[in-house]
Structure 1
Amino acid sequence: MHTREEKLEAFGRLLTIMDELREQCPWDRKQTMESLRHLTIEETYELGDAILDNDLEEVKKEIGDLMLHMVFYSKIGSEKGAFDVADVLHGICDKLVHRHPHIYGDVEVQDEEEVKANWEKIKLKEGGGKKSVLEGVPRSLPALVKATRIQDKARGVGFDWDNKDQVWDKVHEELGEFKEAVDANDREEMEAEFGDVLFSMINYSRFLDLDPEMALERTNKKFISRFKFMEAAIREDGKSMDDMDLQQLDVYWDKAKQETK
């Protein structure tokens, strides 16, 4: 591993390259915060894929891509006279010190849950006009991730179930209400109740210390892997999926389950 001095030198090298690209490269000169936004989101998802694949070499590369974007935004901020990378770094350092009074102050905590609760309370006090702890949840988050963050923030200020058995009962309650809506063929109510089922399942996952987004993505990847294996096996046998019924496809699906994780 590198020394602190080498790490600082590497970061300085990135800042220098960013200055040079912004001055000399036509593409880099043209970019704005708005034009970079969707690319940053894409890079974030690519980092997420690398993490799920446990590909540390790829994780390293994707962290580099995101680091470049953070430096790029800071460069544009400095050009606007709003902030530079030093302001950004001091800002996050100051925030971390302020939100960890159990490290940098005289507050005592017993466990991780108390740390998270204090964090949310401090954030609410810092809010600058925010009237709800939930205002800190980005509007553009995917619904599954947003539900998790909403529940985390509500828990941080003490609004939560006492134990997982209560949540499991709630899951069954919501499933029953969803089934009633299905039996009544009420599509609007079906959608509402299905949302409640998902929300309660996400709640239950928290009590099991599971990440619902990661769990679902692992299932997606598993299904894709098995489906591609099935397609390949059918082609190797000179057959076409279009000409097969579900019973015939299930034979290949079972084989795919045995051969893939």
Structure 2
Amino acid sequence: MLKRSMTGAWKGCMSNRERKSSSDMNDGQHGMGREWERSRSIQKTACKTGFDWPDVTGVLDKIREEVEELHIEFEQGQRESIAEEFGDLLFSVIKLSRFIPHTPSECLAMTNDKFSVRFSYIREKAAREGAVFSQLSLNEMNRLWDEAKKAIQ
């Protein structure tokens, strides 16, 4: 029953959502939208000169590399280096957005909706099991999360 109602909620969320244009990125904190657009512009200029990956594989490899570098910086605890590597990762993710048939805003909206529905599911499930959600172990929360992922496609 819960699986069906949560799946219905997810579908309703998706069908009722007004898709925002990529210009809505300008509503983000700390000028994220402006920097996002600046990054796209810089990358577009580089692309016109031929400085670009021919397909998505190169971009995905670069993202993997940037995640590894970010991991190293977190281990070393260098705040400025962490910020720099995180920026490099974002720059690469923005590059990836060229290969995706939806705007980044649409993709993030879908993920936000999916997370919200799944999070509601796990909180409701915990309550039905007689548990206080905030008092569950992270392992128990993850078990419920995995269940929600299977229940809500």
Whether 1:205 aligns to 2:97 is yes
Rg larger for: 1
Alignment partner, residue 120 of structure 2: 228
Choose the corresponding residue for 2:14, options 26, 33, 53: 53
Contact 1:174 1:197 in 2 (8 A): yes
Aligned equivalents of 1:138, 1:260: Cα separation in 2: 28
> Match of 2:48, SS?
coil
Alignment partner, residue 75 of structure 2: 183
Whether 1:161 aligns to 2:48 is no
Residues 71-150 of structure 1: pairs in structure 2 closer than 5 A? 140-142=26-28, 143=32, 146-148=35-37, 150=39
- Structure 1, unaligned runs of 5 or more: 1-51, 60-136
Aligned equivalents of 1:176, 1:233: Cα separation in 2: 35
Whether 1:249 aligns to 2:141 is yes
Residues 203 and 210 (structure 1 numbering): CA distance in 2 closer, same or farther, change over 3 Å? farther
TM-score calculated relative to the size of structure 1: 0.42
Contact 1:170 1:200 in 2 (8 A): yes
Aligned CA RMSD, in angstroms, stands at 3.3
State percent identity of aligned pairs: 26
Structure 1, 158-167 or 189-198: larger mean CA deviation: 158-167
Contact 1:171 1:200 in 2 (8 A): yes
Aligned equivalents of 2:90, 2:145: Cα separation in 1: 27
Contact 1:234 1:240 in 2 (8 A): yes
Aligned equivalents of 1:187, 1:153: Cα separation in 2: 25
Aligned equivalents of 2:103, 2:81: Cα separation in 1: 28
Residues 232 and 193 (structure 1 numbering): CA distance in 2 closer, same or farther, change over 3 Å? same
Residues 245 and 158 (structure 1 numbering): CA distance in 2 closer, same or farther, change over 3 Å? same
Question: Higher relative contact order at CA 8 Å, sep ≥6: structure 1 or structure 2?
Answer: 2
Aligned equivalents of 1:180, 1:231: Cα separation in 2: 34
Residues 243 and 205 (structure 1 numbering): CA distance in 2 closer, same or farther, change over 3 Å? same
Aligned residue pairs total 131
